[in-house]
Amino acid sequence: MQANIKNTNQKRVVIIGGGFGGLKLARQLSNSAYQVVLIDKNNYHQFQPLFYQVATAGLEPSAISFPFRKVFQKTSNIHIRVAEVLKIYADKKQLETSIGLVAFDYLVIAIGADTNFFGNQNMMKHAMPMKSVGEALALRNTILQNYENALITSDEATRKGLMNMVIVGGGPTGVEVAGTLAEMKKTVLPKDYPELDFNLMQVHLLEGSNRVLSSMSEIASEKAKEYLMKLGVDVALNARVVDYDGQKVTLADGTIIPTNTLVWAAGVIGNKIEGLNPEVIARGNRIMVDEMNQVKGYSSIFALGDIALMTTTTYPNGHPQVAQVAIQQGELLAKNLIGLCKDKAMKAFVYKDLGSMATVGRNKAVVDLPSIKFQGFFAWMVWMFVHLMSIVGIKNRLLIFINWAWNYFTYDQSLRLIIKPKSSKP
């Protein structure tokens, strides 16, 4: 069965995934000579860097999500399809999807990455990942429900497990979640739950290497650790988690930490897609591409963003899996595809590192720019400005700004709702 997409005399570019790279590519190709089909499992773009604020009741999911159809209302050559891609038939230039077959002239794979549990089945079953808006909302529900349950238990050990929070992974996400939870312990949760003794609550950040924010400078790493410890976070370095049964975390050295909530932010693995030559699938399920983001061995298939592995002299293990790489690759690929219509040679991708940053809490952030590194209040302001300007949609920016301003002046997140799905009837 063919998917219901009108055939035209335009060449068709099919983009799988509406993340940072896929959305950037589609926007750059809007009103071009191509017919563009954007396929995603959701009908909206998700702003991943702020998932943690949804999880900690700082923002509503709608504030960091933006409908694709809203983005492309004024473009006639962009077609949105909400579907799951099942397989690529490269020889036929077709995709098998949940809505039927989709033909393409050029295919762009921008399916991103998912949580990597490194084969630990117990972790997959019990830990809380945070790679989508839905998962962030589920984490928020779990955290708040645990405190409701802590109120009604008479057993102190059970209450301690419900109140404790463990975050595995000391990258930007782990650091930001730990910092926010520590601030909630001081300023928000005691007001909501005055019957609970918050001396029982501990926020643990477990990192397997010898420093947090290992992808950033040493000064940023040390400052972030200092900020976390001042907030009361128990930062454990060289701490390898070997098991979690839903109630206690077991470390390699035998340490046991009681908790009903473990946030897993310790690694990513590329989303899988069938149909490509297994020889182009590298470590971490990343797809090997050349310097034009062309999948090796395929003239009409490209990959970009987290799923793409491009090895260069500067980046022998591939580019970092961050938003800026995907955005820059999407922008260049659009120019190359437009150039192909005019028989122009494609240009090689060169990543321009604009720097990295992470926030640790109120007035606390670390910023590494190519020419300067700074921390503290000004870094926090820069972090907020950059993230605010990166959000799609003026309304979304306004919503986030209002929430941030409210949180700043009131020391209070106002969105602590437990939103449960309706139970199915027996």
Residues acting as catalytic residues: 176
Rounded-to-integer distance, Cα 107 and Cα 97, Å: 14
Both tokens assigned to 95? 């995709």
SS3 letters across 20-36: HHHHHHHHHHCCCCCEE
Backbone angles phi, psi at 214, to 5 degrees: -65, -20
Strands 165-168 and 262-264 come out as parallel
Is the Cβ–Cβ distance between 6 and 29 less than 8 Å?
A: no
Within a 10 A sphere around the Cβ of 235, how many other Cβ atoms? Answer: 20
* Whole-Å CA distances, 263 to 138, 168, 390, 398: 11, 6, 25, 29
Phi, psi of 422 (to 5 degrees): -65, 130
What is the signed CA dihedral for 274, 280, 286, 290, rounded to 10 degrees?
Answer: -130
Q: Look up residue 58 and give its DSSP letter.
A: S
CA atoms within 13 A on the CB side of 109: 33
Q: For residue 244, what are the β-bridge partners?
A: 249
Distances in Å between the Cα of 33 and the Cα atoms of 19, 329, 365 are: 23, 20, 44
Residues 6 or more apart in contact with residue 350 via CB below 8 angstroms? none
Strands of the sheet containing 100-103, edge to edge, are 85-89, 94-97, 100-103
